[in-house]
Amino acid sequence: MKAMVLREISSIEKKPLRMEDLPNPVSGPGEILVKVSVCGVCHTELDEIEGRLKPKLPVILGHQVIGRVAGLGSGTKRFKLGDRVGIAWIYSACGKCDFCVGGNENLCPDFKGTGCDANGGYAQYTAVDENYAYCIPERFSDSQAAPLLCAGAIGYRDLMLSNIKKGQVLGLFGFGASAHIVIQVARHWGCEVFVFTRGEEHQNLARRLGASWVGAPEDQPPQKLHCAVDFTPVGETVPRALQLLEKGGRLVVAVIRKRNPIPPLDYSQHLWDEKEIKSVANITRKDAEDFLSLAAEIPIIPEVQEFQLADANQALILLKQGRIQGSGVLKIADQFIRTRGHLRMMEMMTTKEFYEK
């Protein structure tokens, strides 16, 4: 199979992902083999590539995976060949620790991330335990569904942790893949949304999706925020968001790592009056399942910008520069069929072999 592989930590500008020919993965007991159609690109991949989050090298990145079941390991029960499935950030957890038993498998000491601790979706095929794969609602195309698995699911967890209520004002700092989905959920719940972002295109998208006020992070909104979610990779937005919170408000920081440190906080200015900061660590399977149902009900319509798998480095550079509108998605299945006839034949033969097992 073809895959974009990360073998060393590097700045994304050096284009460290390399296209390689690798053996197709084999589905073990309880696992399904997935022929990947598309895979979303995410800021987490930038954190892995640039060393803020340590992946297990070499690794195939990608944790917003949509594809079809192409092979079944022994003992599998949930899916059949040809089913459309999704794979999200949570690749596995132990299922036995206090966190797992208490419904917080995202905090499991043995938590493994797709495309970080195990190979992900920047490839033609990937394998996963069937219990960590999801049925995808029919109303979404493959490209629309991909960002729902991380940008959407983690955004949903952000909102739940923020304790936002109907009629309250929610502040969103940064307006990328996750925020442009979160605003659709918040508006569906009857919340007013203020968006803090610099890019003109991002500001226009925020207005189009229902933001009642849009400005830069240093601008003054018309009123205080009851809750806020910080999606930005920089530390400076944390004290600014806390400064704008209403008494008793909560700020949810929705990134795994910040590129630069959070500036010192002044207790009386930023935290007094029972203000809170809440971090978000990973997602649970329930987050993904609940959000996929909600997304189909609303329905959420992600803005998607598509790239070919071979252009993964460039897509991530654009993501770092804030130049992707909505969510970036890598198209994988069609690329090699369209550009190389012999690879089409190889893929057809491979799929046929899987179906005959």
Residues 311 and 334 in one domain: yes
CA nearest neighbour of 135 among 283, 291, 255:
291
pLDDT at position 338 is 44
pLDDT at position 259 is 86
For range 149-168, the mean pLDDT? 96
pTM: 0.88
pLDDT at position 335 is 56
| Domain limit, last residue, from 240, 263, 279 | 279
For range 301-313, the mean pLDDT? 96
pLDDT at position 348 is 41
Element counts in the chain: helices (H) and strands (E): 11, 18
pLDDT at position 256 is 83
CA nearest neighbour of 230 among 190, 283, 170, 287:
170
Residues 267 and 296 in one domain: no
pLDDT at position 61 is 98
| Domain limit, last residue, from 260, 279, 298 | 279
Say how far apart CA 67 and CA 297 lie, in whole Å.
22
Query: Residue 346 — very low, low, confident or very high, per pLDDT cuts 50/70/90?
Result: very low
Q: What percent of the chain has pLDDT over 90?
A: 90
223: left (phi over 0), alpha (psi -120 to 50) or beta: beta
Residues 143 and 9 in one domain: yes
Predicted confidence (pLDDT) at residue 341 exceeds the cutoff of 80 = no
pLDDT at position 279 is 96
Average pLDDT value for the chain: 93
User: What are the tens digits of pLDDT across the range 28-70?
Assistant: 999 999 999 999 999 999 999 999 999 999 999 999 999 999 9
Residues 144 and 6 in one domain: yes
Residues 158 and 142 in one domain: no
Residues 14 and 104 in one domain: yes
Residues 19 and 133 in one domain: yes
What CATH number is given to the structural domain containing 39?
3.90.180.10
| Domain limit, last residue, from 237, 259, 279 | 279
Q: Which two tokens stand for residue 23?
A: 């053996």
Q: Which two tokens stand for residue 93?
A: 């957890």
Q: Number of folded domains in the chain?
A: 2
Dihedral angle at the C-alpha atoms of 241, 242, 244, 245, nearest 10 degrees? 120
Residues 271 and 215 in one domain: yes
Residues 101 and 235 in one domain: no
Residues 275 and 309 in one domain: no
What CATH number is given to the structural domain containing 263?
3.40.50.720
Determine the structural domain holding residue 185 and report its residue range. Answer: 152-279
Residues 35 and 156 in one domain: no
Dihedral angle at the C-alpha atoms of 4, 10, 11, 14, nearest 10 degrees? -60
Predicted confidence (pLDDT) at residue 329 exceeds the cutoff of 70 = yes
Strand residue runs (E) in 136-200: 169-173, 192-196
Residues 18 and 81 in one domain: yes
Q: Are 153 and 92 in contact (CB under 8 A)?
A: no
